[in-house]
Chain A
Amino acid sequence: MTRKVLQRLWLVAALLVSWEALSRWRVLNPLFFPPPSKLLAVLGPLIWGGSALDATGHTLTRTAIGFAAGIICGALISAAISSVPWIRSGSEPVVSAMYASPRLTLLPMAMLIFGVNDSARIVLVALSTMLIVVIQVSDAIRGVNPAFVDLARNYGASQAMVLRKVYLPACLPQFFTALRLSFGRAFVLTISIELLSAGNGLGNMIWAAWQTFYIERLYVCILLAAMIGLLCQMPFRVLERHFTKWRGASA
Chain B
Amino acid sequence: MRSEGASCFGVGFTYSQPERQVRVLQDVSFEVRPNEFLSIVGPSGCGKTTLLRLLAGLLTPTEGTIDRTGLRAPQGGPPPMVFQENNLFPWMTVLENAAFGLEMRGIERNERESRAAELLARFGLSGRENDYPYQLSTGMKQRVGLVRAFLCEPPLLLMDEPFGALDCQTRMYAQQELANFWREHKTTVVFVTHDVGEAIILSDRILVLSNSPAYVVQEFETPLPRPRPPMFEGDPEMMDLQAQIFALLGFTLNSRAWAAK
Give chain A's interface residues, CB within 8 Å of chain B. 145, 147-148, 150-157, 161, 165-166, 169-170, 172, 245-250
Report the separation of the CA atoms of residues A245 and B81 in the bound assembly, to the nearest whole angstrom: 27
B77 contacts partner chain A, Cβ-Cβ < 8 Å:
yes
Which of these, A145, A154, A169, A249, contacts B56 with CB under 8 Å? A154
Closest A residue to B56 by CB, please name it.
A154
* B87-124 to A contact mask, C-beta < 8 Å, 1/0: 10111100000001100110000000000000000000
Contacts of B148 in A (CB 8 A): 155
25 contacts between A and B (CB under 8 A): A147-B83, A148-B86, A148-B89, A150-B53, A151-B81, A151-B83, A152-B89, A154-B58, A154-B80, A155-B77, A155-B78, A155-B101, A155-B152, A156-B78, A156-B104, A156-B105, A157-B104, A161-B104, A169-B91, A245-B132, A246-B90, A246-B91, A246-B92, A246-B132, A247-B90
Report the separation of the CA atoms of residues A137 and B133 in the bound assembly, to the nearest whole angstrom: 24
Contact between chains at A170 and B91 (CB < 8 Å): yes
Closest A residue to B97 by CB, please name it.
A151
Report, nearest first, the 3 A-B pairs whose CB atoms are least far apart: A147-B86, A169-B91, A156-B77
Contact between chains at A165 and B85 (CB < 8 Å): no
Contact between chains at A155 and B83 (CB < 8 Å): no
Which of these, A147, A155, A156, A170, contacts B85 with CB under 8 Å? A147
Contacts of B53 in A (CB 8 A): 150
Contact between chains at B87 and A151 (CB < 8 Å): yes
Closest CB in chain A relative to B106 CB, distance in Å? 10
Contacts of A245 in B (CB 8 A): 132
Closest CB in chain B relative to A18 CB, distance in Å? 44
B135 contacts partner chain A, Cβ-Cβ < 8 Å:
yes
Contact between chains at B58 and A166 (CB < 8 Å): no
Contacts of A156 in B (CB 8 A): 77-78, 101, 104-105
Closest CB in chain B relative to A168 CB, distance in Å? 9
Report the separation of the CA atoms of residues A196 and B40 in the bound assembly, to the nearest whole angstrom: 72
B134 contacts partner chain A, Cβ-Cβ < 8 Å:
yes
Q: Name A's interface SS.
A: helix
Contact between chains at B86 and A145 (CB < 8 Å): yes
Contacts of B85 in A (CB 8 A): 147
Contacts of B86 in A (CB 8 A): 145, 147-148, 151
Asked whether A248 and B89 contact (CB < 8 A) given A150-B58, A154-B81, A161-B104, the answer is no
Contacts of B87 in A (CB 8 A): 151
Report the separation of the CA atoms of residues A154 and B101 in the bound assembly, to the nearest whole angstrom: 9
Contact between chains at B101 and A151 (CB < 8 Å): no
Report the separation of the CA atoms of residues A156 and B80 in the bound assembly, to the nearest whole angstrom: 9
Report the separation of the CA atoms of residues A151 and B152 in the bound assembly, to the nearest whole angstrom: 14
Report the separation of the CA atoms of residues A145 and B53 in the bound assembly, to the nearest whole angstrom: 17
Report the separation of the CA atoms of residues A172 and B92 in the bound assembly, to the nearest whole angstrom: 13
Report the separation of the CA atoms of residues A250 and B92 in the bound assembly, to the nearest whole angstrom: 16
Closest CB in chain B relative to A150 CB, distance in Å? 6
Contacts of B132 in A (CB 8 A): 245-246, 248
Which of these, A151, A161, A249, A250, contacts B89 with CB under 8 Å? A151
Report the separation of the CA atoms of residues A169 and B80 in the bound assembly, to the nearest whole angstrom: 22
Contacts of A170 in B (CB 8 A): 91
Contact between chains at A153 and B91 (CB < 8 Å): no
Report the separation of the CA atoms of residues A250 and B133 in the bound assembly, to the nearest whole angstrom: 13
Contacts of A247 in B (CB 8 A): 90, 134
Interface residues in B112-155 by Cβ distance below 8 A to A read: 132-135, 148, 152
Closest CB in chain B relative to A239 CB, distance in Å? 15
Contact between chains at A165 and B89 (CB < 8 Å): yes
Contacts of B91 in A (CB 8 A): 169-170, 172, 246
Contacts of B135 in A (CB 8 A): 248
Report the separation of the CA atoms of residues A119 and B194 in the bound assembly, to the nearest whole angstrom: 65
Closest CB in chain B relative to A157 CB, distance in Å? 5
